[in-house]
Structure 1
Amino acid sequence: MDLQISVFLLFILFTAGHSLSCYECRSSLGSCAFQEKKTCPSESLYCVSTTGVVQIGGIKTVNKFKGCEADCQSGSTNIGYSKMTLSCCNTDLCNAQDAPDPNTNVPNGKKCFSCDEKSCSNTLSCLGTEDRCFKATGENLEKDLTTVGGLSVVSKGCISKNICDVTAAGTLIPNVKDFSCCEGNMCNGAQSVSQSFLFLCCSLLSYFLLQ
C-alpha cells in the first residue's frame, strides 16, 4: 500500500509542473516548413493545426496555423469557396503534421444554404465530417468607413458537429454572435442577404493567425 501511495505522489509531482509543448506556425504562403517548438501557457490543453483555403475565381490562398489552444475540436467548416480544417491533439508536439487540405474531403450527401455577395439561398454540398448546417451573424472584419463598429453580417454553410459545439458555446470565435447549427438538409434557412460572405471563415482565420 505504501508503495502505491508513493508512486501516486510521484506521478502528481511530475505531471503538475508539466506544460504542453506544441509546434507553432503562422503562414499565408501555404506552408509550415519553418515551424518552431513552443512551450504552451498552463491553460492550454491542446495543440492545433489548421488549414484554410479561399478560392475566388482563379485566385487561391492557403493559410496555415499551428499553436496552443485552451479548447479545440477537430473538424471542418465550409461556405463554398472558403473552407477550413482543424486538427486537435493533446500530447507534446503532436501537431507536427499539417491539417489536411479541406479540398481533399469528399461530398457526404448533406446540403446546406450558403451565401455570396447577392444572396443566402445558394445550395452547398457538405464535405467529409460536415454533418451540420450553420448560420452565424456578427461584425464585419472590414469596417465600413461610414459605420462605427463595422457592418452586421450573415454567413451560412456546412460545419462539423465538434466545431459547432465549441463555437456555439462561445469558446472558439469570440466575435461571432447568434451562432446556431441544425441537422436537417437545408435547415439553415434561405432568407437574408450577406454583406460579407467570407465572414465566418475569415473570423476563424483571423482568430488563429492574429492572436
Structure 2
Amino acid sequence: MDLQISVFLLFILFTAGHSLICYECSGLTGSCADQKLKTCPSGSSKCMSLTAVSQGQISVKVKIKDCAVVCQSGSMNFGISKVSSSCCNTDQCNVKDAPDPSNIPNGRKCYYCDGQSCSNTVSCSGTEDRCVKATGTAGGQSVVVKGCVSKSICDATSFIPNVEGISCCEGNLCNGAQSVTQSFLFLCCSLLSYFMMH
C-alpha cells in the first residue's frame, strides 16, 4: 500500500513539473525552414501550426508555429485571405506545417467583406462548414468581417479581444449581406492574432 502511494506521489510530481515543448518559427516567405524548439510558458497546453494565404493583388503566404493557450484545428476564408490551423498537445507534435488552405469547394457559400461592401460571396472549401460574421470597433468606427469557417473554430471564438460579437451559422449566405464602408483590416488582424498568439 505504501509503495502505491509513493509511486502515485512521484507520478504527480513529475507530471506537474513537465512543460510542453513545441516548435517555433515565423516564416514570412511561405516556409518554416528555420524552426527551433521552445519550452512553452505555463498555461500553454497546445502546440500550433498556422498557414495564412492572402489572395489580393499581392499573394503572400505566411507560416507560423508556436505554443498556444487555446487552439482549434480548422480553416477560415475571409475572401481575400485564408487561414488553416493545426493544433496538438504532445511534445514537438507541431513539426509539420499546417496544410495550405484548401481550394476545393465544398458547395457552401458565404458573404465576405472587402472593405467597401459585404455583399461579395465566397465559395467555402475543405472543412469550412459555417458562415461567420464578426463585429468590432476600430478608432470609434464599426468594423465587420465575414466569411467561411470550420465548426471547430466557431466553437472556440467566444473570448477574442477587440471583437464585440461573433456569430456562426449554417446554410448558404446565412451571414447577411449588409453593406459597410469602413475598413475591416483591424478586426481581421484581431481575429488572426488571436489564433496565432493564444
Tell me which residue corresponds to 2:162: 175
Tell me which residue corresponds to 1:110: 108
Q: Does 2:165 match 1:166?
A: no
Query: How many Å apart are 1:79 and its aligned residue?
Result: 1.3
Point out where structure 2 has 5 or more consecutive residues left out of the alignment. Answer: none
Q: Which amino acid aligns with 2:78?
A: I
Listed as ranges, the matches of 1:23-38 within 5 Å are 23-38=23-38
Q: Kindly report the root-mean-square deviation, in angstroms, between the aligned alpha carbons of the 2 structures.
A: 2.1
1:147-170 Cα distance to aligned partner (Å, 9 max, x none): xx3532111100011111111x11
Listed as ranges, the matches of 1:185-196 within 5 Å are 185-196=172-183
Point out where structure 1 has 5 or more consecutive residues left out of the alignment. Answer: 141-148
Listed as ranges, the matches of 1:122-141 within 5 Å are 122-140=120-138
For residues 80 and 72 of structure 2, the distance between their equivalents in structure 1, rounded to whole angstroms, comes to 22
1:15-72 Cα distance to aligned partner (Å, 9 max, x none): 0100001111123211111111110111000001101100213x21111211111111
Are the aligned partners of 1:30 and 1:63 in contact in 2 as well (CA < 8 Å)?
Answer: yes
Identity rate, percent: 69
TM-score, with structure 2 as normaliser = 0.90
Q: 2:147 aligns with which of 127, 151, 157?
A: 157
Aligned length: 198
For residues 160 and 70 of structure 1, the distance between their equivalents in structure 2, rounded to whole angstroms, comes to 19
Q: Which amino acid aligns with 1:160?
A: S
Tell me which residue corresponds to 2:119: 121
Listed as ranges, the matches of 1:27-106 within 5 Å are 27-57=27-57, 59-102=58-101, 104-106=102-104
For residues 105 and 5 of structure 1, the distance between their equivalents in structure 2, rounded to whole angstroms, comes to 55
